[in-house]
Amino acid sequence: MGYSPTTKEILIDQLRAVFVARGYDGATLSNLARAANLSKASLYHHFPGGKPEMAAALVRHAIADLQRKAFQHLSGSQPPQQRVIAFIDGFFAYTDAGQSDCLLAVLNHHNTATGNTASQQQTITAQFDDWHATLASVFEEAGAKQKKAARQAHDLLAALYGALLMAKMHHQPQLFVGAVKRIRKRFKTL
């Protein structure tokens, strides 16, 4: 049987699209309300704290989503090489084959934005530190020493996010598809 998203999950996804496309400051309540087919007042019913609370909920949701779709695969019982590949494919799925940007990367940028609390940034940074450690431990399992494993983990994440960014700069989401294929090959033999 299929998965039925709750109405709140639908709402969150509609809001996420606006934040991803326009950034924190570019996402106005009018934009958000229009995307959700709601009035601004109704948005305040769902998120009494306004935009900061929306962003906080979206960040939590995005972290859970990326964890479930990609990093989850690093904790399986398969050999480490296979887990890394599964992670890469999961990340590919998370970005919708390069057509959707990562909300965490988008929201992380605005360091000093007005209502975008510093704690949000801290949450994102802490999560990425954690993810990096998880990925590095898999590379250690595969035989790499600690420092090398940390470097490999960093390079893999940079390659994925860099490919996503470059595809966006060239306005060719397809470039991400090819880039991920090459990243896959590069990390197939650790």
Partner DNA sequence: GTCTATATAATGATAGAC
Partner DNA sequence: GTCTATCATTATATAGAC
Q: Residue 50, interface with a copy of itself (CB under 8 A)?
A: no
Among 53, 110, 134, 184, binds a copy of itself (CB under 8 A): 110
Q: Where are the alpha helices (DSSP H) in 47-173?
A: 50-69, 80-94, 103-109, 118-141, 146-169
Q: What are phi and psi of 112, to 5 degrees?
A: -120, 20
State the Cα torsion 157-118-51-25 to the nearest 10°: -70
CB of 61 to a copy of itself, least distance (A): 18
- What residue type is assigned to position 138 of the chain? V
Instruction: Give the one residue of 4, 6, 48, 111 binding DNA; rule: CB under 7 A.
Output: 48
> Closest separation between CB of residue 44 and DNA, Å?
4
The angle formed by the CA atoms of residues 177, 108 and 135, to the nearest 5 degrees, is 55
48's tokens: 């009494």
Stretch of residues binding DNA (CB under 7 A), selected from 31-39, 134-142, 155-163, 174-182: 31-39
Q: Does 157 bind a copy of itself (CB under 8 A)?
A: yes
Minimum CB distance to a copy of itself, residue 4 (Å): 30
Binding interface with a copy of itself (CB under 8 A) = 21-26, 101, 104-106, 108-114, 124-125, 128-129, 132, 151, 154-155, 157-163, 165-166, 168-171, 175, 178-179, 182
